Homo-oligomer: A and B are copies of this chain.
Amino acid sequence: MEKRIRKHFSRELEKIKKLILSLGTMVEERVRMATKAIESNDAVLAQRIIKSDYEVDEMEVDIEEECLKVLALHQPVAVDLRFIIAVIKINNELERIGDQAVNIAERVGVTAKSDQLEMFFDYSAMGEKAQDMLKLSLDALVKMDYDQAFKVVMMDDEVDAIKEQAYDRIKKAIAEHPDKIGYLINLLLISRHLERLADHATNIAEEVIYLIEGEIVRHAAYERD
């Protein structure tokens, strides 16, 4: 590439990096709000998450358009091409994390109305871990930091373990309080949404590892779904 065009391309890459980080920050905030909504059974906060999801959707569309524009104009190869394809995929994951925040908010909307049991499962650890994973995975992308990305993959096992604990406790609670079944199944699904949210963060981290290694770890034994 000619020097002037190369410089222009670098600027475009910087712009894409900034955009994907902005979306990351926006989505992180949704996850924080969703975790808080679960903890405080806050239907109003839940409604705010649902109502503002379009912002995430719009930003995802803009970022994909920007990536396509850069691909068409600069026709990058090798590392640069892989980077932009990775951003397109990560963009998709971020939008889905936003969707999971909405799914959680919808469940909270239901549980907030129901007759509840004493808080018997604390989702804050799971929610915070998912937030950390998201933060770390995006940070790993920007710094191209292998260790950080790998840490996210490991953290996913911890989230899965907490989900299993939640399942066990909720199953027992259902057996003891069959009248509260609707409420309890909503709690069960909340833990599932948090788990999937962490899965999407793991997908981002694996995309970063793939980018760094130029090697596929997406399908290693520890990962699925």
Interface string of A80-104 (1 = CB under 8 A from B): 0110010011001000100110110
Q: A219-B61, A225-B103 are in contact. Are A71 and B72 (CB under 8 A)?
A: no
A51 at the binding interface (Cβ < 8 Å): no
A4 at the binding interface (Cβ < 8 Å): no
Contact check, B68 vs A82: say whether CB atoms are below 8 A apart: yes
Q: What is the distance, in angstroms, from A102's C-beta to the closest C-beta of chain B? A: 6
Q: What is the distance, in angstroms, from A129's C-beta to the closest C-beta of chain B? A: 21
Q: How many residues of A contact B (CB 8 A)?
A: 39
Contact check, A85 vs B88: say whether CB atoms are below 8 A apart: yes
- Distance between Cα atoms of A179 and B171 in the complex (Å): 10
The chain B residue sitting closest to A62, CB to CB, is B216
Contact check, A216 vs B171: say whether CB atoms are below 8 A apart: no
Contact check, B175 vs A181: say whether CB atoms are below 8 A apart: yes
List chain B residues, Cβ under 8 A from A216.
Answer: 61
Q: What is the distance, in angstroms, from A61's C-beta to the closest C-beta of chain B? A: 5
Interface of A: prevailing SS:
helix
List chain B residues, Cβ under 8 A from A61.
Answer: 216, 218-219
Residue in contact with A182 in the complex, picked from B77, B78, B88, B171, CB distance below 8 Å: B171
A135 at the binding interface (Cβ < 8 Å): no
A162 at the binding interface (Cβ < 8 Å): no
Contact check, B71 vs A81: say whether CB atoms are below 8 A apart: yes
List chain B residues, Cβ under 8 A from A100.
Answer: 225
* Chain A residues at the B interface, C-beta cutoff of 8 Å: 53-54, 57-58, 60-61, 68, 71-72, 75, 77-78, 81-82, 85, 88-89, 92, 96, 99-100, 102-103, 167, 171, 174-175, 178-179, 181-182, 185, 188, 192, 216, 218-219, 224-225
